[in-house]
Amino acid sequence: MTARTTLISNIASLVTNDPSLGTGPLGTIPDAAVVIEDDRIAWTGPSSRAPATDSHHDAGGRAAVPGFVDSHSHLLFAGERSQEFAARMSGRPYTAGGIRTTVAATREAGDHQLARTLDRHLAEMLRQGTTTTETKSGYGLTVEDEERALRLAAERTEEVTFLGAHVVAPEFAEAPDRYVELVTGPMLDACAPHARWVDVFCEKGAFDGDQARAVLTAGRDRGLIPRIHANQLSYGPGVQLAVELGAASADHCTHLTDADVDALAQAARGPAPTVATLLPGCEFSTRARYPDARRLLDAGAVVALSTDCNPGSSYTSSLPFCIALAVREMAMTPDEALWSATAGGAAALRRTDIGRITPGARADLVLLDAPSHLHLAYRPGVPLVSDVWRRGRHVIRRG
């Protein structure tokens, strides 16, 4: 079958995330064009040098950026927790206890309801430029409920994470070690076929370092790649454990010692870094302290930005919003924030085919109703995403 080619031209500013293709760390090309061949990027360069193709799309002087990569979300749930949010805004601190509220609602929900909620949030993310989404289980906490969550997720995204160790299931409140045995035994057996990743919430009130190690090593032994919720609410062993076990990412990273930062920076020098995934939507929604992105970047760590979309602590599906938060609240430059929400997210998923607009990469591309990617932080809250291509298909058309 003959490949079909599409030219997108008249791009005011194209971010490739490859410095060899353009200027600066983002490899930006002015007055640019892109050629898509089937589901891949075939060519990038100046519009004046664009080759002939089967079809053509005029970008109308808009900027183009890689499709956003959301490497941390929790979309398999039922119910909502707006009253909990209102209470926090009235002064009650976040302690992660509300997860059990969502667990009860999720267990009660049928497959159709969970699938519909997942589809709605994935569509919402796509409209905001997210072309790759990781999502987790963790709101069922029984063998059956965790398995069905991952089964439903695997039908919709290739990046699926087993998070049976989100919190201790209520039935095991007095016997957390027995719950870890369930997670690392029958639950893992049922869930591993549907997942690529294994995760654990290593935090006071959830799982300690020894329990987290048991979960991650059991998952790794079953072929799942570790990632970890680390150092969100307090200082703890999560980041060190992530680096020791070669986890793809340590997520949250709010409370870090100098040794934690050094460990992440050292890991960044290796072939498979442990990425520090920062989730500013969570701090926005909980009025907590933001992670110190500048400290991590200056040390040389690899940083990703994600939404942490979930019904309790970060009910946003917008990576553009998180980019604006990262620039305003976490001392990231607009270039750093965009890279972290695209190529950084790809690194956290150990992917080289997404998060960039380079020949051979998957054709995931976003046009912005703006002349430059700087407007993502410059115009927070404005729906700037005009058009989206995913796997070479023009899936969102607003322009």
* Residue-averaged pLDDT of the chain: 96
Residue 97 has a pLDDT of 65
Residue 87 has a pLDDT of 87
Distance CA 174, CA 195 (A): 29
For the segment 216-232, the average pLDDT, to the nearest whole number, is: 98
Greater confidence, 342 or 84?
A: 342
Residue 366 has a pLDDT of 98
Question: What is the per-residue pLDDT across 227-250, written as a single tens digit (0 to 9) for each?
Answer: 999 999 999 999 999 999 999 999
Longest dimension (CA), the chain: 69
Kindly report whether the global pTM for this prediction surpasses the value 0.85: yes
- pLDDT at residue 93 above 80? no
Q: How confident is the model at residue 214 (pLDDT cuts 50, 70, 90)?
A: very high
Measured CA distances, 318 to 131, 341, 399 (Å): 12, 11, 20
Radius of gyration of the chain (CA): 21
Q: How confident is the model at residue 98 (pLDDT cuts 50, 70, 90)?
A: confident
- pLDDT at residue 399 above 70? no
- pLDDT at residue 100 above 90? no
**DSSP letters for 331-387:** ---HHHHHHHHTHHHHHHTT-SSSSS--TTSB--EEEESSSSTTHHHHSTT---EEE
Question: What is the per-residue pLDDT across 264-299, written as a single tens digit (0 to 9) for each?
Answer: 999 999 899 999 999 999 999 999 999 999 999 999
Question: What is the per-residue pLDDT across 47-89, written as a single tens digit (0 to 9) for each?
Answer: 999 999 999 999 999 999 999 999 999 999 999 999 889 988 9
